[in-house]
Amino acid sequence: MGHVTGRGRTDAPADGGTIIVVTGMSFEVRIAAGPGVEVYSRGPGDALERRLAERLRRPCAGVISFGVAGGLDPALRPGAVIVAERVVHLSHRYDTDAAWSAALRAAVPRAVSGPLAASDQPAAGVDDKRRLHHDSGALAVDMESHIAARLALAARVPFSACRVVLDPAARELPSAALAGFGDDGRTDIGALLRVLIGQPGQIFPLLGLARDAGAARAALRAVRASVGPAYALR
């Protein structure tokens, strides 16, 4: 599967300083935040990549991709916790820091380990999810981990990823939900309502997605409490 663009361990050890957290949506930012932590989330265009690259010119303890993800493995239900062994994006593979990942698994014993896929666009359809799972072997997919992995490994700092399944592999994301994903990670209520006005039948899939999101948020909060202020890095 393409070339390996990172190693599982870095030559630069954690310096005991700030932990950089990369995530997507505003509710994930609130859960991820804490003392000694800087959180970087999605923004318009390449804003996340630019801001993270600038930050990594200065020392930090490590980078973790933390938040929710779309399920690809049919066995994983909403709220399932994944500690990634590697991040797969197109033909690239970025291995996570072995020691940090082991510490995360010890802190969250119920977590499963395996590949995590990353995509530049939401994997919304069931067929899209099935294809991505088949091609990559990944357990889940998000839109930030590849950026975090590539920049962390280029900066020679430890990288890991811990994600919680939101929508299971068998659930298609309704177009109203996709319309409501704002560039800044907040929900665009106006865009969501405009779709619902034209397609009121989407209210039922949205209610199912809301239940999944509730389970994912609760699990993410529990993981955050389990890994402690340093995300198990120290």
Domain, as residue range, for 33: 3-172+214-227
pLDDT digits (tens, 9 = 90+) for 36-78: 999 999 877 789 999 999 999 999 999 999 999 999 999 999 9
- pLDDT at residue number 192: 59
DSSP lists the bridge partners of residue 181 as 187
Lowest mean pLDDT among 89-103, 165-179, 189-203: 189-203
Residue 153 located in a structural domain: yes
CB atoms within 10 A of CB 200: 10
Number of domains composing the chain? 1
pLDDT surpasses 50 at 116: yes
* Contact present, 48 and 42 (Cβ < 8 Å): yes
- Report pLDDT for 157: 97
**Residue 119: strand, helix, or coil:** coil
Asked whether residue 15 is domain-assigned, the answer is yes
**Structure tokens of 107?**
């802190």
Residue 184 lies in a domain: no
In this structure, the chain runs to a length of 234
Query: Residue 109's pLDDT is what?
Result: 97
List the one residue out of 62, 19, 58, 60 whose CA is nearest residue 37: 19
Helices 145-154 and 47-55, axial angle in degrees (round to 10): 30
Alpha carbon separation from 141 to 75, 135, 163, 194, 208 (Å, rounded): 15, 12, 9, 27, 19
Q: Are 117 and 163 spatial neighbours (Cβ–Cβ below 8 Å)? A: no
207 CB-near residues (< 8 Å, 6+ apart): none
Residue 219 within a domain: yes
25 within 8 A of 192, measured Cβ to Cβ: no
181 occurs within a structural domain? no
Q: Which stretch of DSSP H or E encloses residue 205?
A: helix 203-227
Containing 52, the helix (H) or strand (E) segment is helix 47-55
> Which residue from 198, 164, 195 is spatially nearest to 178, judged by alpha carbons?
195
User: If you average pLDDT over every residue of the chain, what do you get?
Assistant: 85
* Residue 103 counted as domain residue: yes
Report the CATH number at residue 111: 3.40.50.1580
Q: With respect to residue 48, please indicate whether it lies within any of the assigned structural domains.
A: yes
d(CA 145, CA 149): 6
> How confident is the model at residue 189, as a pLDDT?
62
* Residue 218 belongs to some domain of the structure: yes
pTM: 0.84
